[in-house]
Structure 1
Amino acid sequence: MNETIHAAPCNSNAIDEVKNVLSYLRELPGKGILTGQHTQTTVQKELKYIEEVTGKLPALCGFELLAYSPNINYEDAGEACLIEVEENKNTLDNAWDWVLNKHGLITFTWHWFSPFGSRDKGFYTEHTTFDASQAVLEGTEEHARLIADMDHMAELLKPFCEKRIPILWRPFHESEGEWFWWGAKGPEVAKQLYRMMYLRYTHHHRLNNLIWVWNSPLPEGYVGDDVCDVISLDTYPPKHTHTDLEDEYNRLVKITPANKLTALGEIGVLPSIPRLSETHIPWVWYMTWSNEFGATEEWTTKEELRHAYGHPYSVTLDMLPRLY
């Protein structure tokens, strides 16, 4: 864990701001961890809760892009789905505010309603007939529609690139499982989907502001060192169980011999910051999930939250240097 972490961007055309972020992250292990919080709605109740309890804000804010999916089937969607989409609209406005006015880091999550064949919450496998194994084959309708959706999202990301704002981009998250359509056909198909997006976004759209985050702990289907900057996993330990997540780290780093930056893409409870300050398990960030995970005491008490945000090992927004 004391080896030098190689953090040159996988994209050789990455902008200097990406290099700045990666250089900063490379120096973090053993010195600190970025505090992170996912916000699922434009209200951002999680940030308000954290600030009320701790007087601080996280260094990294996560934003949800599900409402920007171009093929939401509003005609065959339940009330819960419609509410979730409505509450998620305009989250990019919040992201712009975060980077322009607070100068924090951002990461995007896309619960992608499938390109066709979806109903209700169409990012779930059970709610779509879309076949990802056909989408990786050129000449199929699935492939054409997949590329169209990718291009739609690329246009929304381009203004960030034009403003030279780096984004921790975590596509096809949790692809080790079958619950999302992109993982339903197995890890090898998910790998191909990711590599397709990487080539499309770097070569065709020239989105050179993206920091590519792979999000699966499986050695099978690992996308490759050449197309990812950070490896990550999602984990939801039992309520009020705060550890350094050493076992999860040891599992994750087995996917590649390269000494990649490592992150907790999603977590339900805060990790133990005091424990991390002692063991130096080299997570560079964690991102607590939204709603009850990040805005109530159901998973992490206010006392634990204050302790974490007040600990010198935690990097909060006020401690983050200007990286872009």
Structure 2
Amino acid sequence: MKRLITALMTAALLYGCTSGRRTVAPVNPEASPEARQLLEFLYSIRGKYTLAGQHNFISDPRRYDSVVYSVTGKRPVVWGSDFSFNALGGNIADYHHCGPMNLTSPWGECRINSLSTETLRQNLVDEIKQRHAEGRIITLMWHCCFPSECNDCDGASIWTWQNRPSNEVWKELTTEGTRLNTQWKKQMDTVIPYLEQLRDAGIPILWRPYHEMNGVWFWWCNKPGENGFKKLWIMTYNYFTKVHKLNNLLWVWNTNAPRDKKGDEAGPYADFYPGPEYVDVLAADVYHRDYKQSHHDDLQALAGDKLLALGEVGQLPDPDSYHSQPNWSWFMVWGYFINSQKTDSLPSETAVRRIYDDPRTLTLDEIDFSDGKYRLK
């Protein structure tokens, strides 16, 4: 039945009644065939199904995927991870929640693993190749230090809160040829070779850099307007796409759901949007089970015909909000949060199974990837 519904929906998407074939085009005109096919697949399920997803930390890339399987007997379709950073100083455990790569496990023992940045990132590439071969859809992000510190920094370099870059520093960062801009390129060059390996292997990536930019916590946060975050995003897009030809990337602009909690605010989506010509998917992060209808509807209004996703979630949505917000293409639970899904009425494992067993949730067993193309069985 799912195969029939998807075939009908795909036909409606790709073929108009009188106007002939319609193409779903990535924002990168040179996007790879694999990236194009993935995007078409995501459009084909829009409004009907949501892909289950799980984040896994770079130093322990199977732990939370295994938790999902042990609880549900199913595998998520979307497999996520992070290029990460090495946390320095005596307070490393304070930043475990984002998964510093030099920790054995970001949640739990928090011991130094003594592995090099290069080894960890190469291991990540190797893991991705295995997961992709299973039919997983890969999404990657990057908790990155401030560019002058490259890959090794105190966690406070990333979680700057009130110590975000001044307007003068931001201008230097986003101005071609300055010292800081050159440092930024060198920092980007530390992950580009790994993305190139994935490109050359024909693996499309849902790429979501500089997430939650409308919040107030990361160094790249809270810079609205034409010369703010928008300029950093476009600079990144151009460097990865036009300079380095990373045509396997689909660009996921990943906000935080707006909130007005004092000292932990997240501003309106539109103030940080770089424009439809630079974004394939618009995503929101929702924590504390705060699934307001406006989080979905306001993002869809900004997106127009583009896709939506739940880039990160802490607690899974309840069935009511899940079905009243139908255009989320996927959800991805953040790492260890999969162990903390208890509600007022349900224990954690029951809450996980409730969403994984929901008719609109797609899991790996329902994906046909036998010929290297995503479709429903």
Q: Given the two structures, how large is their TM-score scaled by the length of structure 1?
A: 0.86
- CA displacement at 1:153 relative to structure 2: 1.5
- CA displacement at 1:204 relative to structure 2: 1.0
- CA displacement at 1:18 relative to structure 2: 1.0
2:132 equivalent among 95, 99, 102: 99
Q: What amino acid maps onto 2:159 in structure 1?
A: Y
| Whole-angstrom distance in 2 between the partners of 1:176 and 1:266 | 15
Matched, 1:225 2:271: no
Name the structure 2 match of 1:190: 229
Q: What amino acid maps onto 1:86 in structure 2?
A: N
| Whole-angstrom distance in 1 between the partners of 2:314 and 2:92 | 25
- CA displacement at 1:248 relative to structure 2: 1.0
- Which sections of structure 1, spanning at least 5 residues, go unmatched? none
Report the count of equivalent residues.
310
Name the structure 2 match of 1:175: 213
Matched, 1:206 2:245: yes
2:144 equivalent among 112, 116, 121: 112
Name the structure 1 match of 2:339: 295
Name the structure 2 match of 1:56: 74
Of 298-307 and 78-87, the range deviating more from structure 2: 78-87
Between the aligned residues of both structures, percent identity stands at 30
| Whole-angstrom distance in 2 between the partners of 1:184 and 1:155 | 30
Q: What amino acid maps onto 1:290 in structure 2?
A: G
2:329 equivalent among 266, 284, 298: 284
2:171 equivalent among 129, 133, 136: 133
- CA displacement at 1:312 relative to structure 2: 2.4
Name the structure 1 match of 2:28: 11
| Whole-angstrom distance in 2 between the partners of 1:43 and 1:169 | 18
Q: Given the two structures, how large is their TM-score scaled by the length of structure 2?
A: 0.74
Against the structure 1 CA distance between its residues 24 and 73, is the aligned structure 2 distance closer, same or farther, given a 3 Å change threshold?
closer
* RMSD, aligned α-carbons: 2.8
Task: Map Cα deviations across residues 38-70 of structure 1 (whole Å, 9 max, x no partner).
Answer: 112425321111101110010001102113xxx
Matched, 1:65 2:83: yes
- CA displacement at 1:221 relative to structure 2: 2.5
Select the structure of larger CA radius of gyration: 2
Q: Is the CA contact (8 Å cut-off) linking 1:63 and 1:92 kept in structure 2? A: no
| Whole-angstrom distance in 1 between the partners of 2:36 and 2:139 | 16
Against the structure 1 CA distance between its residues 128 and 164, is the aligned structure 2 distance closer, same or farther, given a 3 Å change threshold?
farther
Task: Map Cα deviations across residues 188-234 of structure 1 (whole Å, 9 max, x no partner).
Answer: 42111111111111111111100110112611121111111101111
- Which sections of structure 2, spanning at least 5 residues, go unmatched? 1-8, 15-22, 105-119, 256-267
| Whole-angstrom distance in 2 between the partners of 1:187 and 1:44 | 39
Q: Is the CA contact (8 Å cut-off) linking 1:170 and 1:215 kept in structure 2? A: yes
Q: Is the CA contact (8 Å cut-off) linking 2:53 and 2:332 kept in structure 1? A: yes
- CA displacement at 1:178 relative to structure 2: 2.6
| Whole-angstrom distance in 1 between the partners of 2:237 and 2:46 | 27
- CA displacement at 1:297 relative to structure 2: 4.0
- CA displacement at 1:185 relative to structure 2: 3.9
- CA displacement at 1:103 relative to structure 2: 2.1
Name the structure 1 match of 2:197: 159
| Whole-angstrom distance in 2 between the partners of 1:24 and 1:98 | 18
Name the structure 2 match of 1:267: 313
| Whole-angstrom distance in 2 between the partners of 1:177 and 1:60 | 25
